[in-house]
């Protein structure tokens, strides 16, 4: 058996962490350009940073449980928006994958009035995630362009932008589509609102100018940025995940965010959730991280398409995960990648990558790239 194939088989059988690779094989992450000073030794966008988020969500979940019961705890994620108001008595869940909106209340006095206000709040929630606290029941300031504008239409098939139309639609829903169910020995009054069929495309168009600027600034293809956003969040700017990742491109503040701040922005510290909930900041930061993947972490990959496949996989599973797919030795891994055709690199990263999520991730992103290019 050839030596490099032996190493690949050995790795697949035994497994190995990114930290062990660096320790055993002296992976060289020495900076080589002005964007790569003080480079983090173990680049990886999705190394978990959950302590602070866990503490916040545990407290948040306890308050939800008091009103809704243990089985009815719902929290915002990557592809769903969840917001509580009215001292946790009312809430909204927008499921972007299914294209549905559920607005409900467990208020025991005047439930229809509570539900009406929750519907109006949902329809008029602003297109600015930095103004909305997802982990409390704080009221939402209803000003500016609604986030769901054109993604939902009223009984007359008209988009909802103004207060009067939102109020009228709320009255219509309560009169014609009100439902009741049992929730933890209480009654939940709710309505379900379908989103328009092209709701994902409508959201994607909103960020066209931001994507274009970021692509030009960092030399990253627009279709790749679009595909990453669709994969990570379905164009949900309120997205938050288990890895303490935020916004459209699901940037982790302590890893990718910190690297971009230090190496690209020449700033100390790391981006805050509020900073990353701003779509302009989020897309800029996520694209800047792709710049680092392209020009530093994986710069020795020669073929442009092989490099792109490696960058996509690394955005999810780290540059170390890409190299580990081919060899336990960094130099040999790069050599192996450069000897292979792009389709062979793609096959290895989607079939032999040590992380199953990363294998699926590359498949999704490349599929979405084709969709955007065929439009």
- CA 303 remoteness from chain centre: 28
- How far is residue 44's CA from residue 47's CA, in Å, rounded to a whole number? 6
- How far is residue 310's CA from residue 290's CA, in Å, rounded to a whole number? 11
Q: Active-site positions? A: 232
The residues, any chain, with a CB within 8 Å of residue 161's CB and separated by 6 or more, are: 145, 146, 149
Which of left, alpha, beta for 144 (phi over 0: left; psi -120 to 50: alpha)?
left
- As beta bridge partners, residue 182 has 187
Neighbours of 40 (CB within 10 A): 17
Q: Measuring CA to CA, which residue among 113, 28, 51, 120 is closest to residue 83? A: 120
Which secondary-structure segment (H or E) carries 189?
Answer: strand 186-194
How many Å is the maximal CA-CA distance in the chain?
A: 75
Tell me what percent of the chain is helix, strand and coil, each rounded to the nearest 5: 55, 10, 35
- CA 109 remoteness from chain centre: 38
- Answer for the pair 244, 47: CB distance below 8 angstroms, yes or no: no
């Amino acid at each position: 058996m050839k030596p490099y194939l032996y190493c690949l088989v050995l790795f697949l059988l035994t497994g190995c962490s990114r930290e062990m690779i660096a320790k055993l094989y002296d992976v060289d992450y020495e900076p080589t350009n002005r964007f790569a000073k003080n480079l983090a030794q173990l680049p990886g966008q999705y190394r978990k940073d959950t302590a602070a988020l866990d503490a916040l969500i545990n407290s948040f979940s306890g308050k939800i449980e008091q009103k809704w019961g243990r089985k009815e705890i719902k929290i915002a994620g990557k592809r769903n928006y969840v917001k509580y108001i009215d001292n946790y008595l009312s809430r909204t869940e927008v499921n972007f994958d299914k294209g549905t909106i559920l607005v409900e209340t467990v208020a025991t006095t005047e439930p229809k009035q509570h539900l009406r206000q929750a519907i109006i709040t949902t329809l008029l929630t602003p297109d600015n995630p930095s103004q909305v606290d997802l982990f409390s029941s704080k009221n939402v300031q209803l000003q500016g362009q609604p986030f769901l504008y054109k993604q939902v239409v009223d009984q007359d098939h008209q988009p909802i932008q103004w207060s009067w139309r939102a109020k009228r639609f709320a009255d219509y829903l309560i009169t014609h589509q009100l439902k009741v169910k049992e929730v933890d020995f209480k009654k939940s009054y709710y309505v379900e609102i379908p989103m328009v069929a092209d709701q994902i495309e409508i959201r994607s168009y909103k960020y066209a100018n931001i994507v274009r600027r970021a692509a030009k600034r960092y030399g990253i293809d627009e279709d790749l940025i679009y595909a990453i956003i669709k994969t990570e969040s379905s164009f949900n700017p309120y997205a938050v995940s288990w890895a303490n990742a935020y916004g459209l491109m699901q940037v982790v503040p302590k890893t990718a965010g910190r690297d971009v701040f230090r190496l690209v922005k020449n700033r100390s510290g790391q981006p805050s959730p509020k900073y990353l909930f701003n779509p302009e900041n989020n897309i800029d930061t996520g694209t800047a991280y792709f710049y680092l993947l392209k020009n530093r972490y994986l710069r020795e990959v020669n073929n442009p398409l092989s490099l792109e496949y490696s960058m996509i996989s690394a955005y999810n599973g780290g540059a170390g995960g890409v190299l580990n797919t081919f060899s336990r030795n960094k130099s040999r891994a790069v050599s192996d990648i450069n000897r292979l055709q792009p389709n062979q690199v793609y096959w290895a990263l989607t079939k032999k990558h040590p992380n199953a999520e990363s294998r699926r991730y590359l498949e999704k992103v490349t599929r979405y790239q084709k969709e955007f290019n065929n439009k």
